[in-house]
């Protein structure tokens, strides 16, 4: 990359670490200040957000992939035309999804044993966040890393500030409102950060939306959500409120390990979409190596030494989850490595990898439907699934790299 791109990428990486720290501060602050029951509510609200992010992240990754290719070949103007053409369709789909969520809100509230106001307050996120993610994907694909950094940091910071205001106002039970408020802030900022066209945009020009790539991204996202969110939602349904809150805190630590380890993945799609075949193997080795190093650090810090660190970070209530910490951290670590492999091959439009991931995720969910008596059974199901998932994705990669297997590109 050019020097200015490397500078922006460095800022983006640093800001991503900062965003993860702010996310940790948000959850650690609420984990200390709220009861297990109230913390389970905000975790459930976060789970709704993670579930929606299957589509949001797929859209952002697709915009990143397509924009990077267009800007690399034809310049920024072509990327802007693609963004404007796509954004009109996104707005219409957002309205349809919002109406569907409003209709389902009473059912969702009944299933999770919460007041109907909780899913209703999630509605603004559905309405505006898809445009926000499309803008972010465009900026990342155009290598405007500084702008993406600004948007992400301000969203994470505003969420923490809103939560602090609510707790100071003795409204801790409604701390989850800070999430839609921060999304609204990020949406406004993303609209302001899109560069202005230097020449007239041809709105009659049509750009084909890469539906196959989007579908592959959705499949990969669903697999991630199964490991990071579906288990929490099933725990909220099957376990007692206190156990559900304990598992929510355990899941939070797993997310910290997962997202910290996969920081190098932030650049994979944009770089692979522009690079030639000669640099793809080098890119994979760099990303996988960096992911492994970060994962080892996270596992040692939050897993092996969790009994020393977590009570300091989250308070005395973490003592109850310490017996489950190392096996759960190991399960998430296995899936993080598998996700790193899947993302790289998704950028190459080799969709056998995300399909393998979703099959394993379905197997995990089926396992949890049968084995959910306590937290220990949840963790064992996730651990064994993570082992098989890494063996499959890693095995496919090794076979393909040694030309013993040819992966078909594209979805039928």
% of residues, the chain, pLDDT over 90: 22
Among candidate residues 250, 217, 278, 271, the one with its CA nearest the CA of residue 378? 250
Residue 302 per-residue DSSP state = I
Residue 34 per-residue DSSP state = S
Q: Rounded to 5 degrees, what are φ and ψ at 56?
A: -65, -50
Q: DSSP secondary structure string, 308-376?
A: HHHHHHH-GGGGGGHHHHHHHHHHHHHHHHHHHHHHHHHHTT-THHHHHHHHHHHHHHHHHHH--SSHH
Amino acid 277: pLDDT: 56
Q: How far apart are the first and last CA of the chain?
A: 34
Phi-psi region for residue 195, left (φ > 0), alpha (ψ -120 to 50) or beta? beta
Q: How far apart are CA 234 and CA 231, in angstroms?
A: 5
**Cβ-proximal residues to 403 (8 Å cutoff; 6+ apart), any chain:** none
- Please state, in angstroms and as integers, the Cα–Cα distance from residue 173 to each residue in 243, 253, 342, following that order: 18, 22, 38
Q: What is the number of alpha carbons within 13 Å of residue 322 lying toward its C-beta?
A: 15
| pLDDT above 60 (res 278) | no
Residue 151 per-residue DSSP state = H
Please report which confidence band the pLDDT of residue 411 belongs to, taking 50, 70 and 90 as the band edges. low
User: In 3-state terms, what secondary structure has residue 29?
Assistant: helix
Q: Which residue has the tokens 């997962």?
A: 258
Predicted confidence (pLDDT) per residue in 45-91, tens digit: 777 887 788 889 899 989 988 888 888 778 888 888 889 888 888 99
Predicted confidence (pLDDT) per residue in 175-234, tens digit: 878 888 999 999 999 999 998 887 776 666 667 788 888 988 898 888 887 888 788 878
Torsion sign across C-alpha atoms 100, 122, 233, 306: positive
| pLDDT above 70 (res 275) | no
CA angle 325, 328, 334 (to 5 degrees): 135
| pLDDT above 70 (res 167) | yes
Do residues 335 and 389 make contact, with C-beta atoms less than 8 angstroms apart?
yes
Q: How far apart are CA 170 and CA 318, in angstroms?
A: 24
User: In 3-state terms, what secondary structure has residue 16?
Assistant: helix
pTM: 0.76
- Please state, in angstroms and as integers, the Cα–Cα distance from residue 252 to each residue in 131, 308, 406, following that order: 27, 17, 38
Residue 204 per-residue DSSP state = T
- Please state, in angstroms and as integers, the Cα–Cα distance from residue 266 to each residue in 7, 33, 319, following that order: 15, 32, 34
- Total residue count of the chain as it appears in this document: 412
**Cβ-proximal residues to 31 (8 Å cutoff; 6+ apart), any chain:** 39, 249, 252, 314, 315, 317
Amino acid 334: pLDDT: 92
User: In 3-state terms, what secondary structure has residue 232?
Assistant: helix
Do residues 133 and 139 make contact, with C-beta atoms less than 8 angstroms apart?
no
- Please state, in angstroms and as integers, the Cα–Cα distance from residue 320 to each residue in 34, 87, 148, following that order: 16, 47, 38
Is the model more confident about 218 or about 405?
218
Q: How far apart are CA 221 and CA 239, in angstroms?
A: 25
Amino acid 333: pLDDT: 92
**Mean pLDDT computed over every residue of the chain:** 84
Q: How far apart are CA 53 and CA 218, in angstroms?
A: 9
Amino acid 206: pLDDT: 61
Tokens at 236, concatenated: 């909220």
């Amino acid at each position: 990359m050019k020097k200015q791109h490397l500078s922006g990428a460095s800022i983006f990486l640093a800001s991503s670490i900062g965003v993860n720290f702010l996310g940790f501060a948000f959850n650690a602050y609420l984990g200390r200040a709220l009861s297990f029951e109230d913390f389970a509510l905000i975790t459930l609200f976060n789970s709704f957000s993670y579930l929606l992010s299957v589509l949001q992240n797929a859209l952002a990754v697709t915009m990143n992939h397509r924009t990077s290719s267009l800007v690399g070949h034809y310049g920024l103007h072509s990327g802007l035309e693609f963004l404007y053409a796509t954004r009109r369709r996104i707005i219409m789909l957002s309205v349809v999804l919002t109406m569907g969520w409003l209709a389902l809100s009473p059912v969702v509230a009944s299933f999770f044993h919460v007041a109907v106001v909780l899913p209703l307050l999630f509605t603004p996120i559905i309405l505006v966040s898809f445009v926000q993610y499309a803008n972010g994907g465009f900026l990342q694909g155009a290598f405007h890393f500084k702008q993406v950094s600004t948007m992400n940091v301000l969203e994470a910071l505003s969420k923490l500030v809103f939560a602090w205001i609510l707790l100071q106002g003795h409204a801790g039970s409604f701390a989850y409102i800070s999430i839609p408020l921060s999304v609204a802030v990020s949406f406004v900022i993303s609209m302001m950060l899109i560069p202005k066209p230097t020449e007239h945009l041809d709105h009659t020009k049509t750009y084909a939306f890469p539906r196959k790539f989007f579908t592959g991204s959705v499949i990969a996202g669903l697999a991630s959500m199964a490991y990071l969110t579906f288990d929490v939602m099933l725990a909220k349904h099957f376990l007692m409120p206190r156990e559900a809150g304990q598992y929510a805190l355990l899941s939070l630590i797993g997310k910290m390990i997962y997202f910290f380890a996969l920081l190098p993945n932030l650049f994979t799609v944009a770089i692979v979409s522009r690079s030639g075949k000669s640099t793809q193997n080098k890119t994979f080795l760099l990303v996988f190596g960096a992911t492994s190093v970060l994962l080892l650090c996270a596992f040692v810090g939050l897993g092996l030494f969790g009994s020393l660190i977590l009570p300091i970070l989250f308070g005395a209530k973490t003592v109850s989850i310490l017996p489950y910490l190392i096996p759960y951290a190991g399960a998430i670590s296995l899936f993080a490595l598998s996700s790193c492999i899947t993302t790289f091959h998704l950028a190459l439009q080799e969709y056998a990898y995300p399909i393998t991931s979703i099959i394993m995720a379905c197997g995990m969910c089926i396992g949890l439907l049968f084995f959910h008596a306590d937290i220990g059974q949840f963790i064992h199901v996730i651990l064994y699934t993570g082992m098989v998932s890494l063996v499959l994705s890693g095995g496919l990669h090794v076979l393909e790299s040694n030309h013993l297997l040819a992966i078909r590109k594209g979805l039928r």
